[in-house]
């Protein structure tokens, strides 16, 4: 049932009750309401006109969502170049959520055509990271980096032109010193740890029961044993034998197979190891001239022996008092220095396999004398020959020879002793640590006292420092060698006054040598001896005529525990630091300016004593420190 209200002319509006209506009474409002209002009920049948809630975002000044907003593939944009501001209330934040599909929250910044973009993404859930990064107050300057103070505050920092690393110093460091990093993360000097021992010898091993002279010895780096050669007095034949260190070095050496190197009437021997071809070269002189042989060695259990190649006639009619040196000029790999008559010569040669290629003979100097001379090579193209000049009051003189690929130039003679100087083979050496030459001689005009002087090579000349007298006995002779374990030289004297062989350490300060007090190492003063250092055992092997026989023994002088490797070298100390200080190390790419005496354009290698050298130190391998750009600056390369 309903109520029908007819129109004034046509039509009607009918209000119908539901078919099963309840008993309800609706009371209409008292007035017409306002435009846009709607009729609502209070739930008790009272009707009134009310204004509905806004449904247009344009007209609603404080709209609120009733659920999550789905943009349904559309953008949220603005008109008329207006900004879109996100402003959470109070301490609220704008949060970019993550999920299992896209990972942690991120902001994507598209290109201007929206075809690609970059993401700024937070760390993953597994990091458990919650931190704040505060940006700097300005844009910084060109080339600066954004850095943090570790507490989330960032700032612009200038890039160092010399990259550095900081760590705790393990021991003292000096400015400009090569540095290694330890397993604990500290930094320390790359210098080897040295231990000086009271020089003592092991028991003697008999090489031959005959008297020997012209003894030579060298270390075989392939087999890690020594090779000795000598001339037997009785028949003048040259013999050769391996000297093998025992497993317990305190027991000395055993002697391998003794074989003949040259026929009778030999008058001198020399040996040199060539690492580039892993062969030993021996020289010996006969009445027909000087001969060269190359050989390898091998065997075990007392049957160690040498395998010789055929003898090569190297010098005809002469070749006395020879010295042999390993060189690496790119073509040649060894140098022979020898005397013919009163003139000293040099000749470079090359061994390829068993073939010896000889190159031109070079005149070094006419000494007007036929006595022994001495020589030393610096491993980098400079050979110094020391001799007695019989045309100049028997003064001691020296000449510098410069080696090229296959060239040999000689400087002018320089006097090192204004007195009658008696020399012998092995009485000159190059001290790698000091970068100086040493020569020891017997002063025939001063009671035959033994003296030593330091020489400094510059270009094609050499200058000498203060001469030091260290022995006053008569008729004594000395040999001088560089000790790579100690980083200094040693002098061995056949001391007739003490009926002993004595050893002295020698250090160099500037151009002045300091010779320590002697230590007796053998109870014989026989002058027929030679010694060589074995780097793998850190012992000197000494071959000498003792009690009418050729004998050999080991001597422990200084041992050195190397620390630097190609892996742990990291750079150069940027200052002087004490143990426990925070030290700054200049690493790869930096330029250290605390060096001295460098040659610009040359490569430098870390030496076992912590210094820099032009060649790799054989005891530590090729640890490349960097390239010199001036006399005081080195680009660290590592």
Contacts of 207 (CB under 8 A, 6+ apart): 228, 230, 239, 241, 243, 255, 258, 543, 549, 550, 551, 552
Q: What is the pLDDT of residues 580-597, one digit of tens each?
A: 999 999 999 999 999 999
Average pLDDT of the chain, as a whole number: 91
pLDDT digits (tens, 9 = 90+) for 99-134: 999 999 999 999 999 999 999 999 999 999 999 999
CA 439 to chain centre: 31
Task: Give per-residue pLDDT as tens, 4-19.
Answer: 878 788 887 677 777 7
346 band by pLDDT with thresholds 50, 70 and 90? very high
**Which of 190-194, 326-330, 372-376 shows the highest mean pLDDT?**
372-376
Residue 160, pLDDT score: 67
Question: How large is the average pLDDT for residues 340-346?
Answer: 94
| CA pair distance 227, 546, nearest whole angstrom | 18
| Cβ-contact 162, 590 below 8 angstroms | yes
* Interval 625-630 mean pLDDT: 96
On the question of pLDDT at 480 being above 80, the answer is yes
Q: Which domains can be identified in the chain, with CATH numbers?
A: 164-192+563-636 (2.40.300), 194-561 (2.120.10.10)
Residues 564-575: tens digit of each pLDDT: 999 999 999 999
Per-residue model confidence (pLDDT) at position 237:
87
Q: What CA–CA distances, in Å, run from 266 to 231, 282, 288, 346?
A: 7, 13, 10, 20
pLDDT score, position 438: 98
Tell me how far apart the 2 most distant CA atoms of the chain are, in Å: 162
The reported pLDDT for the residue numbered 17 is 76
pLDDT tens figures, 44-100? 888 898 887 766 666 777 888 888 888 898 988 888 999 999 889 999 999 999 999
Query: 471: closest CA among 499, 442, 430, 500?
Result: 442
Does position 43 have pLDDT exceeding 90, yes or no? no
pLDDT computed for residue 638 by the predictor: 67
Three-class secondary structure of residue 109 per DSSP = strand
Q: Summarize the confidence of residues 148-165 as an average pLDDT.
A: 86
How far is it, in rounded angstroms, from Cα 293 to Cα 279? 10
pLDDT at 21 over 70: no
Q: Is the Cβ–Cβ distance between 416 and 436 less than 8 Å?
A: no
Give the tens place of pLDDT for each residue, 209-249. 999 999 999 999 999 999 999 999 888 889 999 999 999 99
Is 626:604 a contact under the CB 8 Å cutoff? yes
Q: Is the pTM of this model over 0.85?
A: no
DSSP codes, 437-485? EEEEEEETTTTTEEEEEEEEEETTEEEE---EEEE--SS-EEEEEEETT
Please, which pLDDT band fits residue 413 given cuts at 50, 70 and 90? very high
The mean per-residue pLDDT over the stretch 289-309 comes to 88
126 three-class SS: helix
Report pLDDT digits (tens) over 438-456.
999 999 999 999 999 999 9
Exposure b/e, 464-501, CB count within 10 A at least 16 = b: bbebbebbebeebbbbbbbbbbbbbbbbbbbbbebebb
Average pLDDT over residues 501-518: 96
């Amino acid at each position: 049932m309903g109520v029908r209200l007819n129109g004034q002319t046509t039509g009607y509006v009918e209000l119908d009750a539901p078919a099963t209506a309840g008993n309800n009474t609706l009371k209409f409002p008292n007035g017409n309401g306002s435009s846009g209002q709607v009729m609502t009920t209070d739930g008790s049948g009272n009707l009134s006109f009310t204004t509905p809630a806004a449904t247009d975002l344009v007209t609603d000044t404080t709209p609120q969502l009733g659920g999550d907003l789905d943009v349904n593939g559309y953008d949220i944009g603005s008109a008329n170049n207006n900004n879109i501001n996100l402003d959470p209330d109070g301490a609220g934040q704008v949060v970019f959520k993550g999920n299992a599909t896209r990972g942690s929250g991120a902001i994507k910044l598209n290109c201007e055509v929206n075809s690609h973009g970059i993401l700024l993404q937070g760390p993953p859930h597994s990091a458990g990271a919650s931190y704040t990064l505060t940006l700097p107050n300005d844009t910084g300057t060109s080339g600066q980096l954004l850095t943090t103070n570790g507490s989330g505050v960032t700032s612009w920092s200038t890039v160092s032109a010399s990259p550095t690393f900081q760590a705790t110093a393990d021991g003292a460091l000096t400015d400009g010193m090569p540095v290694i990093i330890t397993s604990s993360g500290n930094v320390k000097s790359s210098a080897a740890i040295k231990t000086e021992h009271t020089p003592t010898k092991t028991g003697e091993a008999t090489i031959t029961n005959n008297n020997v002279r012209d003894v030579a010895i060298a270390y075989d780096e392939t087999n890690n044993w020594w090779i000795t050669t000598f001339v037997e007095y009785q028949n003048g034949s040259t013999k050769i034998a391996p000297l093998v260190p025992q497993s317990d070095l305190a027991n000395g050496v055993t002697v391998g197979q003794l074989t003949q190197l040259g026929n009778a009437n030999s008058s001198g021997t020399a040996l040199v190891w060539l690492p580039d071809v892993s062969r030993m070269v021996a020289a010996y002189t006969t009445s027909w001239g000087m001969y060269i042989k190359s050989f390898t060695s091998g065997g075990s259990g007392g049957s160690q022996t040498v395998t010789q190649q055929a003898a090569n006639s190297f010098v005809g009619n002469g070749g006395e008092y020879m010295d042999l040196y390993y060189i690496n000029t790119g073509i040649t790999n060894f140098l022979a220095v020898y005397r013919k008559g009163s003139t000293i010569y040099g000749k470079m040669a090359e061994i390829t396999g068993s073939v010896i290629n000889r190159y031109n003979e070079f005149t070094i100097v006419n000494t007007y004398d036929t006595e022994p001379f001495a020589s030393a090579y610096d491993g980098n193209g400079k050979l110094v020959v020391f001799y007695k000049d019989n045309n100049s009051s028997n003064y001691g003189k020296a000449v510098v020879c410069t080696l090229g690929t296959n060239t040999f130039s000689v400087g002018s003679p320089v006097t090192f002793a204004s007195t009658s100087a008696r020399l012998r083979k092995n009485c000159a050496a190059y001290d790698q640590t000091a970068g100086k030459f040493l020569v020891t001689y017997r002063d025939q005009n001063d009671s035959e006292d033994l003296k030593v002087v330091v020489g400094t090579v510059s270009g094609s000349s050499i200058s000498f420092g203060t001469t030091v007298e260290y022995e006053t006995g008569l008729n004594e002779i000395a040999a001088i060698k560089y000790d790579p374990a100690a980083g200094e030289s040693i002098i061995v004297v056949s001391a007739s006054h003490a009926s002993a062989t004595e050893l002295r350490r020698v250090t160099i300060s500037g151009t002045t040598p300091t010779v320590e007090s002697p230590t007796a190492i053998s109870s014989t003063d026989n002058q027929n001896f030679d010694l060589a250092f074995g780097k793998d055992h850190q012992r000197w092997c000494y071959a000498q005529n003792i009690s009418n026989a050729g004998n050999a023994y080991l001597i422990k002088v200084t041992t050195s525990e190397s620390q630097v490797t190609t892996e742990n070298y990291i750079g150069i100390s940027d200052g002087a630091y004490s143990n426990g200080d925070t030290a700054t190390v200049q690493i790869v790419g930096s330029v250290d300016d605390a060096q001295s005496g460098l040659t610009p354009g040359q490569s430098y290698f870390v030496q076992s004593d912590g210094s820099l050298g032009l060649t790799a130190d054989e005891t530590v391998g090729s640890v490349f420190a960097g390239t010199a750009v001036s006399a005081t600056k080195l680009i660290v390369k590592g």
